[in-house]
Each structure stands twice: as structure tokens, then as C-alpha cells.
Amino acid sequence: MKTVNEDALQKNYITAAYGIRSWLLTRDHKRIALLYLISITLFFFVGGFFAVLMRLELMTPQGDLVSAETYNRLFTMHGIAMIFFFLVPSIPAVLGNFLLPMMLGARDLAFPRLNLLSWYLYMVGGAYTLYAMVTGGIDTGWTFYTPYSTGYSTTNVVPVVVGIFILGFSSILTGLNFIVTTHKMRAPGLTWFRLPLFVWSQYATSVIILLATPVLAITLALLGVERIFQVGIFDPALGGDPILFQHMFWFYSHPAVYIMVLPSMGVVSELVTCFARRRIFGYKFMAAAVMAIAVLGFLVWGHHMFVSGQSVYAGMAFSALSFFVAIPSAVKVFNWTATLHKGRIEFRTPVLYAFGFIGLFTIGGLTGLFLATLAVNVHLTDTYFVVAHFHYIMVGGAVMGYLGGIHYWWPKMTGRMYHEGWAKFSALILFVGFNLTFFPQFILGYLGMPRRYYIYPEEFQVLNVLSTAGASILGLGYIIPMIYLLWSLRKPRTAGPNPWNATGLEWLTPSPPPTHNFDKTPIVTEGPYAYEEKSANGE
């Protein structure tokens, strides 16, 4: 293979230009992806730090480590940092930015300048929010329920809301860019039903971002107006309706769950096919399922409000629709499993993450059925059962998928391979640590421990200690990859263009790719995941 040496000599997107200006003013989607990678990793550890303090406090039933005021800030800021500044941008802004144009055979996204602007908006919103957190913090919960947030909290509500408002436009610009790029910049022969499922998932995610984020923006704007001018939009004491706020908030925030998890589903489809050397089972069902989730996801927001006082009949409608949205998710899980049938499965690091995703997402999804069931929801909502459920979806699902994707495309992004042994070890650690942290919380929730409590009755202590113990293992599982991934940057760029022998246009480029991705626009003649054909050719 002579190509490796030639690649090393050729200028790639990292060596194309040097100096801080060349990064801060770049319009290259791959460089912007790296800028995002660094920024969201920062926020991940900020949010993780808050989580560690919370878990430590919860080791005992009394409030001995932090005060109520501090604890309330911790869970609020943990939620805000993790959801808005890590999970929502994670896969789209890093992996999507890097890979979408390459998977489509394009030289860049449709609007590179908007792409850079989106990163700057992220940074401005993030810096503003961090500033608000450092100078007093915020204690409303990430849900900002009125009238507490507008009339009673004495913390930095307005600055944080402004920060998230700005951040919203960053999301919107990314989504807009992806939609236009997918529609207009596919390589010749790359028809819709030849797109990799990763692209489908990014597309579906972008649709949600485009249609849901503006509603969050206006909701937060109204909240800001109410708080600044003390006029009643949502505060009943001034003539408003707090339930309306919940409707508007969840109209964004339920679809936001799918913004976080759909991209991971796309990643898992890539990983499972590559390491099973199989075409995906039921490609069209998989693509349709992603779009179905995106659409149905807009119709179920009321299931967060079964005990809020909304009408019984509204509750029934939202419950029924919530069961509907479970079906396409179930189809996806079955199809991933079926893809393994008669494959040639190779246990490399990325696919371990993918299996972790499937297992944890299945538990998260199935416990979602509990919460969609009206009478059971009454008991479980606002308890630790809910906390466990959404962490199984968002951490067990979204973060596992994200890390799987990072491990899969790391050689493409950097040209280097990481230490496989450490990587497998940390995938295992993560899986064990995660379950130990969050499984006890299902039981705690069923027992009736409410969320957002910094002190609790003594009979809940054992399970809380277990959970904290798990969190310490989980934390280790996040630090180890940081170390060996950074360490790999010291090695020479020897990964080669296609270390996994995978299909997909992104693997036709050198690793790392040149700024313009492709010397010649590729022409596509077959569907994705043609692994059986590859094997037949002896590759």
C-alpha cells in the first residue's frame, strides 16, 4: 500500500494552514467539527463535575456536603450544560459536520460561512451561560417551570435564558445547513435510498431542530419578558397560565430528546453493518422509522404533563401517541439485531459501543412504555424512575453512540489509531458503571423517591450509595478515553484511508482528508453497506 506514504506527504485539512487565525476563521466543515469537538467536551466535563458533586451529596440522607441552595443549582446547571451544550450539538455538530459532506461526496456543506457562524453563536451562548453559572448560577431546574422561574427564583435566570436563546440559533443554522446539503449536494448516483442511515438520521434530526428550536426560543423570550417586566404571561398571580408554559416548553423539549438520540441511531447503523460485514436488515424500514420518529415526536409532548392538571382526555390522546412513537424505535432495535444474523462479526472497539447502545437503549425505551402508561405514570413521574429512564436514553443511548462514532471515525479525523486494548477496557467499564449508577434509580423511583431532593428518607440510602459507587466507575470510563485518544495524537499518521475496510464515501478519502475532501467527485453506483460484495471480492 503506497497510498499511506503519499497521504502523509499530501496536505490534509489539518496541515493545510497553520496558526490560530487559520482555525478561528476557517470555513472547512472538518475544522469546524474539531472546534465543536473541543468546545462540547469542555461542557461535558463541566456538566459531569456538577453530577459528581450531586452523587457525592446523595451518599447520605442528610445534607452534609452541599446546602439546598447549592444542590438546586447543581442539578439545574448539570441539566443545562449536558442537554443544551453537550447532547444537542454532540453528534450533529461534531460527527455530522465532519462526515455529512464526505458521505454525500461533497466538498463542503452548502453554507460554510453559516457553519462557522453557528460555532461562534455556540461559543457566545456558552460563554454567556458559563458566566451566569459562575456569578451565582441558576436554580430553576433545566425545565424553567413558571411561576417559580419568573416570580420566585432569585438566581441568574435571565442571563441563562439569553445564553440558551443564542445557542438555539446555532442549532438552527446547523440543521438548516444539513437539510440543504442533503437535498442539493449529493454526488451523482447517490439517490435518497442509497444514503447511509447516518445521513438519514442527521436529516431527520435537522428537521426537528428546524421546527422545534424556534418554539423554545420564543418560549424563553416570553419567560424573559415576564421576569424582567413582571407582567403576567405565565404567572397566574398576574393573569397568565403556567400550564401554557409547560405546553410550549415541552413542544420543543420532547422532540429535543429525539434530536439527542436519532443521530446515535444513525451511528449505530454504520457500526453494526461494518463490523458484522452485513448489509443493514430492512434498510427502507430503518430510514422510514427515523422519519416516523421525527414526525411522531412532535405529537407527544403532553406526556410530560399527565399529573399537571391538563384534561383527562388530553392525557389519553398523548398517551396513545406515545405508544405509537415506541413502534419505530422497536423496529430499529429488531433490525439491528437481525443484521447480525449470518454476519462475520469482529469485536472491535466501535461495535462494542454499538452493542452497549442497543442494550441500554432497549432498557430506556421499554421503561418509556411504563411512563407512557397513564395510571403507572401518575406514580412514577417526577421520581427517580424518570431520572433513570432518560439517562438510559440520553447517556446509555446518545452518549454511547457518540463515543462509538468517535472511536469509529477517529482514524479518519486524525489519521491515527488509538490503543485498542484500553479502548475495549473503557467500553466495558462504561457499560458496567452506567448500569450500576442508573439501574438502582429505577427501584428508587418505584419506591417513591422524588427527583431533585438533596435529602431523603433513610430507607433510600443503600440504593443511593450503590448509584454513587457506579458513578465513580462511570466517571473513570469517561476519563480513560480522553487519555488514550489524546495519547494517540503523538503517534505517526499511519491509520490509512480505510482501517476498518468499510463502505461509504468518507473512506475513499485519505486520512486525514484534504481540505476539499475529494480530488474528483465520486460517482455512486450501488446502495450503502455492500459488505457482502466486498467480502466476495476477497477484501
| Site track for other proteins across 121-150, x = CB under 8 A | ------------------x-x---x-xx--
We find the least distance from the C-beta atom of residue 458 to other proteins, in angstroms, to be: 9
Among 457, 483, 533, 539, binds other proteins (CB under 8 A): 457
How many other C-beta atoms lie within 10 A of the C-beta of residue 291?
Answer: 16
Q: What is the length of the chain?
A: 539
Give CA–CA dist 279/221, Å, rounded: 47
Q: How far apart are the first and last CA of the chain?
A: 14
Using CB under 8 A as the binding rule, whether residue 68 contacts other proteins is answered as yes
116 vs 372, beta carbon nearer other proteins: 372
Give CA–CA dist 25/21, Å, rounded: 6
Using CB under 8 A as the binding rule, whether residue 326 contacts other proteins is answered as yes
Residues within window 1-60 making contact with other proteins, judged by CB under 8 A: none
Using CB under 8 A as the binding rule, whether residue 281 contacts other proteins is answered as yes
475 vs 513, beta carbon nearer other proteins: 513
- The amino acid occupying position 521 is T
Residues 6+ apart with CB under 8 A from 343: 276, 277, 278
Using CB under 8 A as the binding rule, whether residue 192 contacts other proteins is answered as no
68 vs 482, beta carbon nearer other proteins: 68
Cβ atoms of 181 and 101 closer than 8 Å:
yes
Using CB under 8 A as the binding rule, whether residue 72 contacts other proteins is answered as yes
Residues within window 341-370 making contact with other proteins, judged by CB under 8 A: 341-347, 355, 358-359, 362-363, 366-367, 369-370
Using CB under 8 A as the binding rule, whether residue 69 contacts other proteins is answered as yes
- 233: cell is 404571561
Using CB under 8 A as the binding rule, whether residue 312 contacts other proteins is answered as yes
Residues within window 194-223 making contact with other proteins, judged by CB under 8 A: 210-215, 217-219, 221-222
458 vs 492, beta carbon nearer other proteins: 458
Cβ atoms of 145 and 305 closer than 8 Å:
no
Residues 6+ apart with CB under 8 A from 519: none
Using CB under 8 A as the binding rule, whether residue 297 contacts other proteins is answered as no
192 vs 324, beta carbon nearer other proteins: 324
Which residue, 71, 216, 228, 75, is CA-closest to 149? 228
Give CA–CA dist 395/392, Å, rounded: 6
Using CB under 8 A as the binding rule, whether residue 411 contacts other proteins is answered as no
Region of 533 on the Ramachandran plot (φ > 0 left; ψ -120 to 50 alpha; else beta): alpha
69 vs 539, beta carbon nearer other proteins: 69
